[in-house]
């Protein structure tokens, strides 16, 4: 008899509180998919932050002097260096894979 009482009490505990299905808010036309700053999603001790600080302290005047004027605007050399270094750390060596990482990986989005 005790087993029967235990089984019935277990079934009562598993009953839903209500029969209405609820969903989390979902709007395709929302203003922001991410918060206004991607920095909010990158941990404080992420390697991308260290790379950012190191490259910003580097003197890259020699690299900048090799850029020729004309044509379409170029990406800033320090941004390109940051992306390349982060890719190297993450074992991404090809430009196509770097491009994909820039589109899909929040650390690469933050560093550019």
Nearest residue to 44 (alpha-carbon basis) of 53, 34, 57: 53
pLDDT tens profile 25-49: 766 676 666 667 778 888 999 999 9
Q: What is the pLDDT of residues 53-76, one digit of tens each?
A: 999 999 999 988 888 878 888 888
- Measure the CA–CA gap between 108 and 100, rounded to whole angstroms: 10
- Determine whether 109 is exposed, middle or buried from the number of CB atoms within 10 Å of its CB (0-12, 13-18, 19+): middle
Listed by start position, the domains of the chain span: 2-111
Please state the pTM of the whole predicted model: 0.66
Contact 85, 60 (CB under 8 A): no
pLDDT, position 54:
96
């Amino acid at each position: 008899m005790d087993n029967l009482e235990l089984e019935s009490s277990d079934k009562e505990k598993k009953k839903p509180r209500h029969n209405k299905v609820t969903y989390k808010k979902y709007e395709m036309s929302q203003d922001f998919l991410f918060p206004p700053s991607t920095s909010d999603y990158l941990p404080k001790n992420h390697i991308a932050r260290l790379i950012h600080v190191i490259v910003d302290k580097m003197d890259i005047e020699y690299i900048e002097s090799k850029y020729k004027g004309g044509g379409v605007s170029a990406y800033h050399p320090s941004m390109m260096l940051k992306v390349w270094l982060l890719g190297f750390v993450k074992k991404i060596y090809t430009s196509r894979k770097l491009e994909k990482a820039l589109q899909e990986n929040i650390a690469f989005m933050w560093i550019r």
